[in-house]
Structure 1
Amino acid sequence: DFGWCVTSPANDGTTFDVDAQAVKNPGGTRAGGFDPAAGGRTPWDDLSGLRYLIGRDRERSHAVTDSAASATSLCTGRKTYNDAINVDPDGEHLEPIARVLQRQGWSVGAVSSVPVSHATPACAYANNVSRDDYQDISRDMLGCPSIAHRTTPLPGLDVLIGAGWGVTKDAEADQGRNFEPGNKYVADSTIAAIDAAAGGRYVVAQRTPGRRGADVLHAAAREAAGRGLRLFGFFGTPQGNLPFDTADGRFDPAADEADADADRLRKKYGGSVHYSAADLEENPTLADMTRAALDVLATRDRFWLLVEPGDVDWASHANNIDTCIGAVHAGDAAFRACVEWIERHGGWDETAVIVTSDHGHLFVLTDPDGFTRRGR
């Protein structure tokens, strides 16, 4: 089957107080929504111009979605402002589908090639007025008290696997007064609280010097499945993501230095990246993560799983065709892992797999002839 939906935001320009978990200016500064007469009723409609779709139509200016608003709309069915994690334009909590299913006895999980508390995996489960309040978002995802659920924490995902390991900060103003120096995405105290080795509910697998990441993760998955525990996997590189695959499959991204006049996100995600042998050896692939998640979730009968090859978003922000193609390869490998797992377990009669993007991207191929010259 094939379908499509529009994930444009309700608005942009909302300001909020992370500590109070309150929206200051409901409605923001710029309206969102979507006009099919301007943007097309189907993805293949002929359009007289594309400026509306990229938010640059001066006659019909509108907000273009970010990953938080789009993932909230996909997971809750409600449009909201850019930056929101499962809250509506007024800041009221929305319940995502994973939590609805969990209340009905399903097991739920999320897997990502970017930080575990980044916008898309966050919208699988958490609530927060700001996508940048990473430590509190991970508290929601791992069943710990958070700024949004202070006295009655959420139950937590049964499986959470992703990146963000090794990224440390001494201070983060965007994360409010309860930010803990240390890992930017998951507070060290949160990992200590959930670890089954200290009485918690999660078998914790982290990037470990000198050990293959896939081996570390799958050993933890076997333990979690065998003992009836949950699984938390935490890996990554200093950039916050799994190593970028590339068009040639060598994990050697082509140089991409952003110009001085490039936009903020191009500068943030651009630049040259070189991976060490340890970066490649000590991290599992997205497909490895997907298999581990499925093996644990399947021990609990019915389950729901989000798998995000989030590096395609980062690569597109960087306008790097090499890592964009590599990200598609990584996502395709994870999809094949899902299909192979389902077929081994005879589950097609009771399984639904949905493959979707969450939003579009403005990618500019500045030198098409370069592919011919370089043989890439």
Structure 2
Amino acid sequence: MTRADRGPKNIILMIGDGMGISQISAGLYSNNNRLNLERFPVIGLHKSYSGDNLITDSAAGATAFSSGVKTYNGAIGVDMDTLPVTTILEMAEAAGMPTGLVATSSIVHATPASFYAHARYRKNYEEIAADLLHTDIDLFIGGGSKFFERREMDTLNLSDALRQGGSTVASFVDTDLKDLNVENARRVAYYSADSEPLPYSQGRDYLVDASKLAVEFLHVKDSSDLGFFLMIEGSQIDWGGHSNDSDYIISEMLEFDRAIGEVLNFAQRNGETLVIVTADHETGGYAIQNGSEMGRIDGAFTSDYHTADLIPVFAYGPGAERFAGIYENTAVFDKMKLLYGLK
């Protein structure tokens, strides 16, 4: 029996950082009562707590998804004893599959970092950036060029090292993502900001285009027909929660949902792609207040940090049925690994 007979060839994991049920609801009611999330036939719930706290952070939450272990808050791709754990991206690469990461944060931020780096602390950004060069990743799009090009811990220019390794490296400073030509690229690295990208409401609008480009690039790159792995993060839904800013949450939520729509369109055409959408945790204890109306949300908050809410998991495509029910956040990794047939 081939992998295609029992599961997907491609897996696209989409993480809306900080996206709980209220964030989804606010986006829905602000968007004519419709979201692309409604196209998913299978919905489950995961338990988001970390290895040392009922309230997880993004580092531990993403490491649970990427590696299938509960670890301490702040940990990037390491277990409770700070030992490196193998990630789904690394497993896919070892199997010869193209891989990619897209984020509206810096690419060294906790969620994307947890798929390729192994660091004791999430803010060791320059150490995390160096770990990216130890992978065979085929595409990454996100902010943080300064951690690669103007480093304090050493005098290396990691972008030059990427170019020497055959990557096409571009930046928002000289190339708009829409104008990026990747047709003959071996690997692609695109910096969307020097540090952290702006919010969507302040002009950052690349997530939909980046998601579409990443899917198409990896699909073409898959010349051996092994399939690909792609993680896409809508990073700043979380930042809106930390800021207790309802409008910030909604604008980021709606951009993320448009990216979901592009990915689902590909999956429907392709027929061999599993799309999973979830969050690492909820942020802000966000609630929709009495007096809210369709198109006008009055939001309230109980916190400026994360909460311990159960988190929805949406799945579409081959193997989607495995994501129904209630389970640990580590099970997202376990299910992806099983469906890929990886060891």
TM-score range, shorter chain: 0.5 to 0.7
Residue correspondence of structure 1 range 267-286 to structure 2 within 5 A: 275=202, 280=203, 285-286=206-207
Q: Does 1:9 align with 2:50?
A: yes
Quote the offset at 1:208 in angstroms: 2.3
Query: Can you list the C-alpha shifts for 1:295-323, whole angstroms capped at 9, x where unaligned?
Result: 22112321000000001011111110011
AA at the equivalent of 1:329:
L
Partner Cα separation in structure 1 for residue 140 and residue 101 of structure 2: 5
Residue correspondence of structure 1 range 126-275 to structure 2 within 5 A: 126-141=117-132, 143=133, 154-165=134-145, 179-180=153-154, 189-195=157-163, 199-208=164-173, 213-216=176-179, 218-219=180-181, 221-224=182-185, 229-236=186-193, 240-241=196-197, 243-245=198-200, 251=201, 275=202
Taking structure 1 as reference, are residues 375 and 341 closer, same or farther at Cα in structure 2, changes over 3 Å only?
closer
SS in 2 for 1:91: coil
What is the aligned partner in structure 2 of residue 292 from structure 1? 213
SS in 1 for 2:44: coil
Taking structure 1 as reference, are residues 107 and 167 closer, same or farther at Cα in structure 2, changes over 3 Å only?
closer
Partner Cα separation in structure 1 for residue 116 and residue 161 of structure 2: 19
Taking structure 1 as reference, are residues 366 and 167 closer, same or farther at Cα in structure 2, changes over 3 Å only?
farther
Moved over 4 A (4+): 165-171, 364-372
Q: Which residue, out of 246, 270, 286, partners 1:347?
A: 270
SS in 2 for 1:352: strand
What is the aligned partner in structure 2 of residue 73 from structure 1? 64
Superposition TM-score, scaled by structure 2 size: 0.66
Query: Can you list the C-alpha shifts for 1:30-64, whole angstroms capped at 9, x where unaligned?
Result: xx3xxxxxxxxxxxxxxxxxxxxxxxxxxxxxx41
Percent identity of paired positions between Structure 1 and Structure 2: 27
Superposition TM-score, scaled by structure 1 size: 0.61
Consecutive unaligned residues in structure 1, runs of 5 or more? 12-31, 33-62, 144-153, 172-177, 182-187, 246-250, 252-274
AA at the equivalent of 2:143:
A
Q: Whose radius of gyration is greater, 1 or 2?
A: 1
Taking structure 1 as reference, are residues 163 and 368 closer, same or farther at Cα in structure 2, changes over 3 Å only?
farther
Query: Can you list the C-alpha shifts for 1:257-295, whole angstroms capped at 9, x where unaligned?
Result: xxxxxxxxxxxxxxxxxx4xxxx3xx6510111112112
Consecutive unaligned residues in structure 2, runs of 5 or more? 1-41, 299-343
Higher strand share: 2
Q: Tell me, yes or no, if the aligned pair for 1:230 and 1:296 is still in contact at 8 Å.
A: no
Partner Cα separation in structure 2 for residue 158 and residue 7 of structure 1: 29
Quote the offset at 1:180 in angstroms: 4.5
Q: Which residue, out of 303, 307, 311, partners 2:228?
A: 303
